[in-house]
Amino acid sequence: NLYIGADLDGVVMALASPSKTDDLPALLGASADLQATAWPVRVVAIGEEIARHRPHVIGLQEVWTVDINLTGLGIPVDIDLDYLTSLQAELVSHGLNYIVAAEVTGVTAQPFPVISVVDRDVILVAASSVTFDPTRVVATTFAANVGPVAPGVLLRRGWVSIAATVDGVP
């Protein structure tokens, strides 16, 4: 679980409430938390852990893409994070090549044009030792899901699976 770095429940509750006066304070608080939990620092530690153990297959939850740019509103918040891209780049810096075998999108939020937050579940495989059958990849959301929870915010959960062969062993 890569964890976005902030509790988004307060933002969702503010967006869902009829009052619009709580939206920006909730968003700014979550943005500050997200920056304080320092994904660029955390991804280095995660990359080091993966490099140390070299798993063949990695199952990931909360693989976020976060784009928040409030500078046009005169607010100095500009966050552009792609957890998957930065994790894969970190792994490459350790000489490791992990590719995406499966992914499914869960939470999507675009409550305003200057905000986009997307959550995915992803399976990475070590390209040097793992093969998988693309016809047996499952990437789906559950039939029963929460759905819209606030304007522009869709809460879905799902799962991914693959049929992998590791070093010739299914």
Q: What pLDDT was estimated at residue 128?
A: 94
Q: For residue range 69-128, list pLDDT tens digits in order.
A: 999 999 999 999 999 999 999 999 999 999 999 999 999 999 999 999 999 999 999 999
> How far out from the chain centre does Cα 44 lie?
16
SS3 assignment, position 54: coil
Residue ranges with strand state E in the chain: 57-69, 78-82, 98-109, 115-126, 130-132, 138-141, 147-150, 153-155, 158-161, 164-166
56-75: average pLDDT = 97
105 phi and psi, to 5 degrees? Answer: -85, 135
Threshold 0.85, pTM exceeds: yes
74-to-69, 70, 78, 92, 113 alpha-carbon distances in Å: 10, 7, 11, 37, 15
**DSSP type of residue 96:** -
Q: How many Å apart are CA 98 and CA 110, to the nearest integer?
A: 29
pLDDT in tens, 10-27: 999 999 999 989 999 999
